[in-house]
Structure 1
Amino acid sequence: MNLSARLLESLAPWRNAPAWHIALSGGLDSTVLLHLLAGLAQREALPPLSAIHIHHGLQAAADAWPAHCRELCAGLSVPLQVEYVQVAPGASLERAARDARYAALAARLAPGDVVLTAQHRDDQAETLLFRLLRGAGVQGLSAMPVSRGLGAGCLVRPLLNCSRAELLAYAHEQQLSWVEDPSNADERFSRNYLRRQVLPPLLKRWPQALVSLSRSAAHLSEAGQLLDELAQQDVAAAETSNEFAWLALPSLALPALRDLSEARQRNALRYWLRPLTSMPDSEHWAGWQALRDAAVDAAPVWRLAAGELRRSDQRLWWLAGDWLRSPDVPKITIQSGQSVVLPGNGSVRIDGALPAGAWQLDYRRAGDQFQVLGRGHRDLKRLFNELRVPVFVRDRLPLMRLDGRVVAIANLPGLQGASDGSWQLNWQPPTSDQGLS
């Protein structure tokens, strides 16, 4: 089966997409992808086709590439959009450039749109070797999936079953021209070193190495899917209801996890944490054991890249964003029906009619007491213990004071306002959303 037929077959699941966008660098791989698709569009009913060139501005040679891509697309009657991006400085220039590129592509996608990238079998093998040398687990060694979500649409890699040699032969046959990225010869970059120094001797000894490595990546991808299915079951068993669901924070019941083997615990937590934070390395998982096995009356914390996992009353809670910062004391007066934004702590609202008086929003202070109907005055610390209020919530739970006395505690049944229900203090807590998922 020739390249055009194989490409069309691999894209069959996305034939009804609203549009196909080709990520066009101007290099060999994306040039061949563009040429193949432009030819298919002349004889097949395909979604509207266009190209996107991302200009990073990282090297002088790249300044000529947009003009090359415009000329190439004009000759094939394919619309082109050039996007200029800034690459954030950091430890890994490769990662920063990739992140900027995918962010720009995602911004261009309407709901259901598909962006097509030209990674091939050789790239898949390099990715597998690179991640193997970094000690990745099953999910990491699955290498690059054929498709994944991106922005409002999805990213598809339709050439993963093709070798670079096949693409090069096609380009020569069709007399295509393409740009060469000078950085591809810089062996300080790990992938270039693998491509230029490691793979050639491997292929000399094992000519089918690329096919074998690609096949291994597919097997690992299938194993990863099975692990995810097991994790879904384990996480579902731990996502039980709780009386503090109004916190709207990701949480799990610890006993349900404790019943699992160590390996299943880690698998379930990796799956649950994946959209929330980057995964810790193997040594850092000691933090999970310390969190799990701490004394019942302890308040352990497991700090991760994008937030913290806390334990309170046999439940795990994920905290990030404003939850990791102490809120400022509001010193705000409030009136009936008024909604007030609390700095770094969500918002509160009085539902009902407040009696006359100097009402003030506040947080708890040392020695605070609360008069509980039929039980007299109770120390706030002991009261929170009785109600099993998570420790991390206690110092940011909004209170109402009247003449300095605590007369309402937001969101706690029976304590959040007048005993006759004529008014209540309701709190909308902050979220743990970091915008990283």
Structure 2
Amino acid sequence: MPLSSIRAHLDRALAALPPGALVVGCSGGADSSVLLHALAQVPDARARGLRAVHIEHGLHADSAAWSGHCRETAARLSVPIDVIRVEVARGRGSGLEDAARRARMAAFERTLRPGEILVLAHHRDDQAETVLLKLLRGAGPEGLGGMRVLRAFGAGYLWRPLLELSRSALRDHARDHGLQWLDDPSNADTTLRRNFLRAEILPRLAARWPDADAALAHSAAWARHAADFIDAEARKALARVRGAAPDTLAWRDWLALPDALRDLVLRRWLRELGLDEPAHFHVAELERQLRDASEDRLPCVRFGDTELRRHRGLLHALRPLPPLPRDWQAEWDGAAALALPGGDTLALEPARRLDPPLLVRHRRGGERIKPAGAAHTRELRLLLQEADVPPWRRERIPLVFREDALLAVGDLFVSDDGAALGLRWNRAPA
């Protein structure tokens, strides 16, 4: 391979890249050392603005030495560098490898300035490992598409310009340019999944199929194209099945979606709401309950800090509601806002002191109200049903009484006398 090949590759790749300064993630290992060295030789990279960032995890005794090595490497290339120390959360069930990666990527995201492009040194062999790991986890097209060359990240982008190049090509560049790097001792730990694939499995595959890494990368590219197409269709499908409120879906329409879209639409919906994503068995259970539960039932599937509840034709996504205190009630004179169980408040506009005070409580059954302008007194139970208030919300609505007369049901139904109060029910954020 010509010595200029990596530089020429980067020249071509930079020409198609959005504008923005480049921030190289420098670990001190061979791959990132090659990437930083090669970019430092490219005038366009310098002209954009080029700097490096090293994340010090503190996971082994030589962490400080690694930071020093990265500083020296960057200084030789006249590239400014920042060293960021992070704490790796341990004992959360996902393993030290994943915890360190999360801490590293979070630090990169925090340091990235608007429009900057984080540049990482992942190559074709890394892509092959990623695809195999995803396959072993039962991933779909998105996972089997492996790492993207370019994607939005933090305030800018994440760019992996070396994904088409092999590890051996990077090692040739390092050797031919006399580069120095450090070998992470954790790379020899084959109890870590990626290391096991790298040391034990991929060499055996390459011995039988010499182009295995290229074939896996090629398959990843096909899966990526398929995933991008399916993702675009999922966006359109979500717009079709979403209810009038952002946190609702028309569940029958969702169930009628093709298998390739149903799971993705659900996950995209929950991500947009800032809620947890389900495991595959949660999705299967949700589909079963929606299909099998009779119309008078209220199916509910819980995972993480998220609940999916069915009411009539809609599927509602919400965080679990805190339990209400039994038989709660409070006297309220209106001079200040009244804090309600669950975080809501009641206020009068304008605030003023009432004598005698009002009584505020939740439903206990049998309540009736004559809404302002209505001809007859109605059962609250029927009014709430007609207003399509979901059952899990009905018990949380504050009822405002003067003596035995129900003046207001939150701000949903207000009597003639209640209308004069200027009542405001402020809901806590979902």
Q: Assess same fold via TM > 0.5.
A: yes
Kindly report which structure 2 residues correspond to 1:177-326, keeping only aligned pairs within 5 A, or say none: 177-241=180-244, 245=245, 250-275=247-272, 276-282=275-281, 285-320=284-319, 323-326=320-323
Unaligned runs of 5+ in 1: 432-437
Counterparts of 2:340 and 2:105, CA distance in 1? 35
- The equivalent residue for 1:77 is 78
Please, what TM-score do these two structures have when normalized by structure 1? 0.87
Shift of 1:156: 1.5
Kindly report which structure 2 residues correspond to 1:316-395, keeping only aligned pairs within 5 A, or say none: 316-320=315-319, 323-326=320-323, 331=330, 333=332, 335=334, 342=340, 344-351=342-349, 356-357=354-355, 358-373=357-372, 374=374, 376-395=376-395
- The equivalent residue for 1:434 is none
Counterparts of 1:63 and 1:102, CA distance in 2? 19
Unaligned runs of 5+ in 2: none
Task: Give the % identical residues.
Answer: 37
DSSP 3-state at the match of 1:46: helix
Please, what TM-score do these two structures have when normalized by structure 2? 0.88
Q: Out of 24, 28, 32, which is 1:26 matched to?
A: 28
Q: Out of 176, 179, 193, which is 1:176 matched to?
A: 179
Shift of 1:213: 0.6
- The equivalent residue for 1:140 is 143
Shift of 1:345: 3.0
Shift of 1:360: 5.0
Counterparts of 1:332 and 1:167, CA distance in 2? 74
Between stretches 355-364 and 181-190, larger displacement belongs to 355-364
Counterparts of 2:415 and 2:177, CA distance in 1? 75
Counterparts of 1:85 and 1:45, CA distance in 2? 28
Is 1:399 the equivalent of 2:399? yes
- The equivalent residue for 2:153 is 150
Shift of 1:145: 1.1
Partner letter of residue 49 of structure 1? L
Kindly report which structure 2 residues correspond to 1:43-122, keeping only aligned pairs within 5 A, or say none: 46-89=47-90, 90-91=92-93, 92-122=95-125
Partner letter of residue 386 of structure 1? E
Summarize the Cα distance change of 1:400–1:318 in structure 2 as closer, same or farther, 3 Å threshold: same
Q: Report if the CA contact (8 A) 2:334-2:353 is conserved.
A: no
Query: What is the CA deviation profile of residues 218-246 of structure 1, one whole-angstrom value per residue up to 9, with x for unaligned ones?
Result: 111111111112212221111242xxx4x
Partner letter of residue 77 of structure 1? S
Summarize the Cα distance change of 1:289–1:375 in structure 2 as closer, same or farther, 3 Å threshold: farther
Shift of 1:26: 0.7
Q: Report if the CA contact (8 A) 1:121-1:161 is conserved.
A: yes
Counterparts of 2:416 and 2:203, CA distance in 1? 74
Counterparts of 1:396 and 1:279, CA distance in 2? 27
Summarize the Cα distance change of 1:75–1:410 in structure 2 as closer, same or farther, 3 Å threshold: same
